[in-house]
Structure 1
Amino acid sequence: MAKKKAAKKAVKKAAKKKATKKKAVKKKATKKKAVKKKAVKKKKKATKKKAAKKKTAKKKVAKKKVAKKKAAKKKTAKKKKKKK
């Protein structure tokens, strides 16, 4: 509320001053937006990294599973050969 009153006073004092003030306020707002965007970008990057880590972990698990399957196949192949 105090800001609004101050703005009204500025209007009464001088239109030019108000215009420059508005520009300054706008600049601050855009700066804040930029900061927010950066924060969002950082967050997104972090989530992307996490997702990537999860993916690699899944890949590792999948590789292990494949390795186990291959090992199992080898064992069964050996058994078959022995039977013959």
Structure 2
Amino acid sequence: MSERKEERGKEEEKEKEEEKEKEEEKEEEKEEEKEKEKEKEKEKEGEEEKEKEKEEEKEEEKEKEKEKEKEKEKGGGKGEGKGEGKRGGKRESKTDRM
């Protein structure tokens, strides 16, 4: 009889250890899932940051275009408008034409 009790005790201990191992595995899996979620969040944040940067660049481009338009209207700056009239440039004098 005592041998049977010992065997049962050993079996129960084995079962308890197996249950503990299963619980530990579950905990590890949960932690891995949490880490994966954190990585996904970081990726999302990185993508959002890239989108913000793109939007800022677009805004800067718009500002530059507005400034160029203002310069054209004033007639200053490089390119069109500076020293050119409606006729497309400086006119020749009578002496230059002959």
Same fold (TM over 0.5): yes
- Kindly indicate whether structure 1 or structure 2 has the higher relative contact order, using CA contacts under 8 Å at least 6 residues apart: 1
Give the TM-score category using the shorter length.
0.7 to 0.9
**Residue of 56, 66, 77 corresponding to 2:46:** 56
- Which one has the bigger helix percentage? 1
**Residue of 9, 15, 34 corresponding to 1:44:** 34
Distance 1:27 1:43 in 2: 24
Structure 2 residue runs of 5 or longer lacking an equivalent are: 75-98
Pairs aligned (count): 74
Identity of aligned residues (%): 20
TM-score normalised by the chain length of structure 1: 0.72
Structure 1 residue runs of 5 or longer lacking an equivalent are: 1-10
TM-score normalised by the chain length of structure 2: 0.63
Cα RMSD (Å) = 2.1
Q: Which moved more, 1:14-23 or 1:55-64?
A: 14-23
Which of the two has higher C-alpha Rg? Answer: 2
Cα distance, 1:13 vs structure 2? 6.2
